[in-house]
Amino acid sequence: MIGVSSLCMLQSDLQNVLDTVIPTFSHVEVICEGNHTNLEVLLSYDCSVSFHAPFSDLNIMSLNRAILAESLSQISETVEIAATYNAEAVCIHPGHFSPLGMHFPEKVRAIQRESLSTLARAAEDQNVKLGVENMPVFPILSCRTPQEMGDLIRAVDSEYLGITFDMGHANTTGTVKQFLDLKEYMVLVHLHDNSGDEDSHLALGDGNTNLDFVKELKDKRLIIEVNAYPDAVKSLQYLRDRNF
């Protein structure tokens, strides 16, 4: 149940990523932007996949109608493509408060709920699960706490909308244990480490995240999401050494 994110080789094209990681990992979460958009190469490899929808420069909470429309369009396209490649799930970001949006928090949250409802309907059409990712400590980011995340998922109320639990992000907000109360909604789990002060995506064991909690998530799809491939291999060994 342990996979790896293509984040570890962002500078390489997807074929090179797959050639490198598949001898060690049988599941890959593809970040569907940048160098990793040539998804057709997946058909030549024997691995299972999940997708991470585009997030750079996008915002499903935007008050700017053009940006909102483009954000929904790109994420919806990823959801549609996910069905083609039998992706297990699609990770999506929850959006953020723009400088203008900070002055209209309730309006922005309403836009977020409407956006996620739209995306959940698209996911239902394709029979693909979505996982909204909890965010690290940073004032403009949404879904940093279990309460906010839980309230949002329950408000949208779709069996096709769940959570991507990012344990490293939760370590920066001091909420790793509390997020486990939302385990029933988790469709993907991102694993990486940090020292609690920034979202550094270190190898497992190189920070202070309480990784003992991984034992409670062994039945979930675990994705090692680190910045460099050697750290992904190191993290996998860390988990194996502890029988996770």
The model's pLDDT over 163-185, given as tens digits with 9 standing for 90+, comes to 999 999 999 999 999 999 999 99
pLDDT in tens, 120-164: 999 999 999 999 999 999 999 999 999 999 999 999 999 999 999
CA 187 to chain centre: 10
Q: Is there a contact between 5 and 31 (Cβ–Cβ < 8 Å)?
A: yes
Mean local confidence (pLDDT), 71-92: 97
* Overall residue count recorded for the chain in this entry: 244
By percentage, how much of the chain surpasses pLDDT 70?
100
- The residue behind tokens 């997708």 is 51
Give, in degrees to the nearest 5, the angle at Cα 37 between 4 and 218. Answer: 20
